[in-house]
């Protein structure tokens, strides 16, 4: 079985930079500890003094001789005055000649957070000046224009690097917008951890990397700034260890520690290299290096059969500000129902409470989808990539097109399970605009239902029928509909549909008696060998009134996927786990203090084991 290539190392240039001392620093911080990767920012904190080109060639030769992969950082965004980049094409050609495969190229930095998420004035500079000449636009007409504007900005950087003939173009991104960097042409996407929630941002990166065919993706560990503000706090120090282990079991191929191994200097606190805090940064890196050497992680990343879909023009970044596409001065662009929908994904690893009557099955496998992981995949992914997932669930913003609806219909016909709300069928690209339902024979083919053109606003609950059209899908339903309506949580706008082949597995009603309703809440339809499910609300799932219903359907699909998986894992919802080729199972206890007991089941085989706090263990089934 082919083994993954994994790189682990450091960043140079965060707290100091001396070009004339670089070889010594590379030796002490990278060669001597035994790391095989380094990123180099050839300046310190915006001091963009131009260096002689010979320096870069000298460093490249030294790194290649020591079999260390390297990449340069911020060559364009912090270029010397009057120039596009720190390097010339001739220097790049010479570096490629002396370093060969060890030269990975150039890395642009944090474009998604800068151009799509950051608060106004975050950088305390005027638009179009300072470190980055790109003007942050604040007057986009709609989501489509903002999306296209962002791609144009990134393509400008990429164009400079392409002219230099860089072997790869990487991007370190603090948000969930790596998909747009890949769309623009980035080869190696890297996530900065832990700016935002890695339980969302890692799946978003992995799903985007798979969709665009990136052969590697990575993790930039910015723990000094983003692991917590109290450097000496024991939980922050434990979190560093978990960051590495979580990224490893999730499939990261590249690990880079931004800082902390030589000094910690943030939030008004300084810890020197010989401090306990810095020693622990170095220990975490050493432990990762030892893990890479002793563990033959199979190539290909973790198996994933469940994916949430990031829709067309969706700009939820998961970190930074609370308006999309940096349109902070316009209220309708603030985070709303579409963006709050992603909270459903944030809760996907939570075990369903014992009070939840909608949890069914022989075992409680509700704490994770099949094989332990989910991806967040862009709707732009080709059908071949989408069809690798058994389940696709829409959450955030989506502007539907005929082409994408056809693609989703093809996905279902091949055996896929699709879930979306009527809000995801909206053609409009305008925030707060009129609802424009995509409704024609395509919609009827996918969902077996016809939109009447009417909507109803109600705070009624819903009733599920006992049987789904899928035998293994277990809704909280009644044979007779003589039961209480459930999941009422506020006013919701439902689109009214006439069934033309689909099944109304849940209806909107406020009555205990079994009277039928003419407002289907959930419709299922068989297409080919798959099932399409529509929640008929024109509100996004982040609407407080809709959230409980949509979340319940999502949780059943998550549990269904796990229930039908050939490998089941039972344990605490503090457990994170993944499965690689050869049924190699990685188990990580993310609890800071307590051991957990885990049972892994495959057919007649069973293993029960106890994981200590923070322990990562691999077993083969």
**Structural domain ending residue among the three candidates 231, 265, 294:** 294
pLDDT level of residue 581 (50, 70, 90 thresholds): very high
Distance (Å, rounded) from C-alpha 578 to C-alpha 374? 10
Average pLDDT of the residues of the chain: 94
Burial class (CB in 10 A: 0-12, 13-18, 19+), 612: exposed
pLDDT of residue 21 exceeding 50, the answer is: yes
Same domain assignment for residues 270 and 377: no
In a domain? residue 47: yes
Higher pLDDT, 426 or 82: 426
Same domain assignment for residues 533 and 574: no
pLDDT of residue 271 exceeding 80, the answer is: yes
In a domain? residue 456: no
Domain that holds residue 609: 568-620
What does the DSSP assignment read for 522-544? Answer: EEEEEETTEEEEEE-BSS-TTST
Q: Please give the structure tokens belonging to residue 239.
A: 């979190």
Same domain assignment for residues 225 and 262: yes
513-533: average pLDDT: 92
Same domain assignment for residues 79 and 189: yes
Distance (Å, rounded) from C-alpha 482 to C-alpha 480? 5
Distance (Å, rounded) from C-alpha 288 to C-alpha 277? 17
pLDDT of residue 62 exceeding 70, the answer is: yes
| Closest-CA residue to 104 (of 186, 178, 3, 32) | 186
pLDDT above 90 as % of the chain: 87
In a domain? residue 588: yes
- Tens-digit pLDDT profile for residues 458-476: 999 999 999 999 999 999 9
230-244: average pLDDT: 95
Distance (Å, rounded) from C-alpha 387 to C-alpha 490? 36
Same domain assignment for residues 234 and 376: no
Same domain assignment for residues 186 and 202: yes
CATH number of the domain bearing residue 202 = 3.20.20.70
Q: What sign results for the dihedral spanned by CA atoms 99, 104, 110, 116?
A: positive
In a domain? residue 470: no
In a domain? residue 393: yes
Q: How many domains does the chain have?
A: 3
| Closest-CA residue to 503 (of 524, 520, 483) | 524
In a domain? residue 496: no
**Structural domain ending residue among the three candidates 294, 314, 330:** 294
* Residue 286 contacts residue 33 (beta carbons within 8 Å): yes
pLDDT of residue 549: 98
**Beta strands at 269-271 and 264-266: parallel, antiparallel or unpaired:** antiparallel
pLDDT of residue 438: 77
Same domain assignment for residues 575 and 533: no
- Tens-digit pLDDT profile for residues 364-388: 999 999 999 999 999 999 999 999 9
144-155: average pLDDT: 95
pLDDT of residue 130: 39
329-340: average pLDDT: 95
Same domain assignment for residues 379 and 261: no
Same domain assignment for residues 31 and 59: yes
pLDDT of residue 353 exceeding 60, the answer is: yes
Same domain assignment for residues 74 and 197: yes
Q: How many Cα atoms occupy the beta-carbon half-sphere of 309 within 13 Å?
A: 31
Name beta bridge partners: 592. none
Distance (Å, rounded) from C-alpha 206 to C-alpha 373? 10
**Structural domain ending residue among the three candidates 243, 268, 294:** 294
pLDDT of residue 571 exceeding 50, the answer is: yes
Distance (Å, rounded) from C-alpha 183 to C-alpha 249? 26
In a domain? residue 358: yes
My answer on whether omega of the bond before 194 falls inside 30° of 0, hence cis, is yes
- Tens-digit pLDDT profile for residues 95-138: 999 999 999 999 998 899 888 998 877 765 444 433 455 567 88
Same domain assignment for residues 64 and 212: yes
**Beta strands at 461-465 and 503-509: parallel, antiparallel or unpaired:** antiparallel
Distance (Å, rounded) from C-alpha 523 to C-alpha 446? 11
pLDDT of residue 598: 97
- Tens-digit pLDDT profile for residues 195-207: 999 999 999 999 9
pLDDT of residue 128: 43
Report the Cα–Cα distance between both ends of the chain, in Å, rounded.
15
Distance (Å, rounded) from C-alpha 231 to C-alpha 224? 7
* Residue 363 contacts residue 310 (beta carbons within 8 Å): no
| Helices of type H across 328-401 | 337-340, 343-346, 383-386
* Residue 173 contacts residue 191 (beta carbons within 8 Å): yes
pLDDT level of residue 44 (50, 70, 90 thresholds): low
pLDDT of residue 134: 59
**How many residues does this entry show for the chain?**
621
What does the DSSP assignment read for 488-532? Answer: --S-EEEEEEEESS-EEEEEEE--SS----SSEEEEEEEETTEEE
Same domain assignment for residues 208 and 165: yes
299-322: average pLDDT: 96
| Helices of type H across 193-300 | 198-211, 223-226, 234-250, 276-294
In a domain? residue 397: yes
Name beta bridge partners: 189. 171
- Which residues, in sequence order, are CB contacts of 574 under 8 Å at separation 6+? 589, 590, 591, 596
């Amino acid at each position: 079985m082919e083994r993954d290539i994994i790189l682990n190392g450091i960043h140079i240039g965060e707290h100091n930079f001396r070009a004339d001392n670089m070889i010594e620093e590379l030796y002490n911080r990278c060669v001597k500890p035994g790391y095989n990767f380094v990123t180099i920012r050839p300046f310190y904190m915006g001091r963009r003094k131009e260096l002689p080109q010979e320096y870069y060639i000298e460093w490249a030769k030294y790194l290649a001789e020591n079999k260390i992969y390297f990449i340069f950082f911020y060559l364009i965004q912090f270029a010397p005055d009057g120039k596009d980049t720190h390097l010339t094409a001739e220097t790049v050609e010479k570096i490629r000649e002396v370093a060969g495969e060890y030269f990975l190229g150039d890395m642009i930095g944090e474009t998604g957070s800068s151009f799509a998420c950051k608060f106004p004035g975050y950088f305390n500079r005027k638009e179009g000046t300072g470190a980055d000449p790109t003007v942050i636009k604040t007057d986009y007409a709609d989501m489509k224009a903002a999306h296209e504007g962002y791609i144009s900005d990134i393509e400008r950087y990429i164009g400079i690097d392409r002219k230099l003939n860089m072997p790869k173009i990487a991007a370190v991104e603090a948000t969930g917008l790596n998909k747009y960097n890949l769309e623009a042409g980035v080869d190696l996407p890297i996530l900065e951890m832990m700016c935002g929630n890695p339980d969302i941002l890692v799946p978003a990166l992995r799903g985007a990397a798979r969709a665009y065919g990136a052969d590697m993706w990575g993790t930039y560990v910015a723990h000094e700034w983003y692991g917590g503000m109290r450097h000496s706090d024991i939980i922050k120090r434990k979190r560093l260890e978990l960051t590495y282990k979580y990224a490893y079991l999730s499939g990261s191929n590249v690990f880079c520690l931004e800082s902390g191994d030589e000094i910690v200097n943030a939030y008004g606190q300084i810890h020197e290299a010989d401090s306990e805090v810095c020693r622990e940064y170095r220990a975490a890196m050493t432990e990762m290096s030892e893990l890479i050497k002793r563990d033959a992680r199979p190539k290909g990343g973790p198996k994933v059969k469940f994916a949430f879909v990031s829709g067309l023009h969706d700009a939820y970044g998961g970190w930074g500000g609370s308006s999309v596409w940096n349109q902070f001065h316009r209220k309708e662009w603030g985070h709303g129902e579409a963006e709050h929908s992603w909270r459903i994904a944030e809760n996907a690893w939570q075990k369903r409470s014992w009070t939840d009557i909608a949890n069914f099955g022989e075992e409680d496998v509700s704490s994770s989808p099949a094989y332990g992981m989910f991806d967040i995949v862009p709707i732009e992914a080709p059908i071949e990539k989408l069809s690798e997932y058994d389940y696709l669930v829409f959450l955030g913003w989506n502007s539907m097109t005929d082409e994408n609806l056809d693609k989703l219909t093809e996905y279902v016909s091949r055996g896929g399970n699709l879930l979306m709300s009527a809000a995801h069928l909206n053609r409009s690209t305008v925030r707060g605009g009129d609802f424009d339902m995509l409704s024609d024979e395509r919609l009827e083919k996918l969902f077996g239902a016809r939109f009447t053109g009417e909507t109803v606003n109600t705070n009624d609950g819903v009733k599920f029928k006992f049987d789904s059209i899928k035998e293994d899908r277990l809704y909280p339903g009644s044979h007779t509909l003589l039961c209480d309506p459930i999941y009422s949580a506020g006013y919701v706008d439902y689109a009214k549909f006439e069934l033309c082949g689909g099944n109304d597995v849940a209806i909107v009603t406020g009555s205990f008696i079994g009277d039928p309703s003419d407002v289907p809440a959930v419709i299922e339809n068989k297409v080919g060998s798959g099932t399409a499910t529509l929640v008929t609300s024109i509100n996004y799932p982040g609407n407080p009134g809709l959230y409980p219903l949509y979340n319940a359907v999502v949780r059943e699909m998550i549990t269904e996927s796990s229930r039908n998986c050939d490998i089941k894992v039972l344990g605490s919802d503090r457990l994170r786990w993944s499965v690689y080729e050869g049924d190699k199972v990685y188990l990580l206890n993310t609890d800071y203090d307590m051991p957990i007991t885990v049972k892994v089941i495959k057919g007649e085989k069973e293993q029960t084991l106890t994981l200590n706090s923070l322990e990562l263990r691999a077993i083969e089934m």
